[in-house]
Chains A and B, each alone.
Chain A
Amino acid sequence: MLKQYYKFFFLLLSPISKYKISGKSMEPTLKEGETVLVNRLVYIIREPKIKEVVAVRDPRDKKVLIKRVARKENGLYFVLGDNKESSTDSREFGMIKKKEIVGKVMSF
């Protein structure tokens, strides 16, 4: 029970989230199984920049994805995987809104 509260507290309130990568679309930058920390506050203060690696919510099913910002247009973001041959990204689900960006990947 205590463990559940602890998990709930961190998932909801922590300014930093920890994610384990599943998949190969960010290779060679991030490999499958690697752990990254995501800063959830930075984009409250400023806009995501081109080339930054970000955690985003897939607009189709709301799963968290790790992608890189490729371009910005009219407040929308086009995100791509580094491994473009094998990545489901904005080429598939379209441009995403800022509110769908969870945060900036800060360590890998």
Chain B
Amino acid sequence: MSKFLRFFTHVLPTQTAYAHCDLPCGVYDPAQARIEAESVMKIMQKYSELHEDFQKMRAILIKEQRAELVKHHLWVLWTDYFKPEHLEKFPHLHDLFWRATKAAGQTKKSIDPADGQKLLDLIAEITVVFNKTKQVAK
């Protein structure tokens, strides 16, 4: 190392540069959100067949949890998987995720299977975009 560089190594304040890995697996798939949304849908369909209060309470509780998981999986895809270049190719992506997470929120309040189906349809739309990005990556 030259004297010039050695001088700099002594006088310069040290900053931190990260050579890190914040997600080792890199595995993403909208199927996670879809499976949870299918659970939400099934609970909505079966709710009317339930007679005991404790069964209804349990169904609502599980529906709430599954809907929250749908939101979580969608957010992971939205914020971690999709990148700015995807947004350039699919400009409706933000709006699509906005509507899908809103629909997931709506399934918490509702026992109408139509709301569950709306959520599944939006996840299917996201899956189409996801598959297209995977094809481009290959």
Query: Does B49 have its Cβ within 8 Å of any Cβ on chain A?
Result: no
User: Do residues B18 and A66 form an inter-chain contact, with CB atoms below 8 A?
Assistant: yes
User: Do residues B8 and A16 form an inter-chain contact, with CB atoms below 8 A?
Assistant: yes
Q: Which of B5, B8, B16, B83 contacts A64 (CB 8 A)?
A: B16
The number of chain A residues with a CB under 8 A from chain B is 44
Q: B48: which A residues are within 8 A, CB to CB?
A: none
By secondary structure, the A interface counts as mixed
User: Do residues A94 and B84 form an inter-chain contact, with CB atoms below 8 A?
Assistant: yes
Chain A contacts to B: CB under 8 angstroms: 6-7, 10-11, 14, 16-27, 30, 32, 35-38, 55, 58-59, 63-67, 81, 83, 85-88, 91-95, 106-107
Chain B contacts to A: CB under 8 angstroms: 1, 5, 8-9, 11-24, 26, 80, 83-85
Give 9 closest A-B pairs by Cβ, nearest first: A23-B20, A94-B83, A19-B17, A18-B12, A26-B19, A23-B19, A86-B21, A25-B19, A64-B17
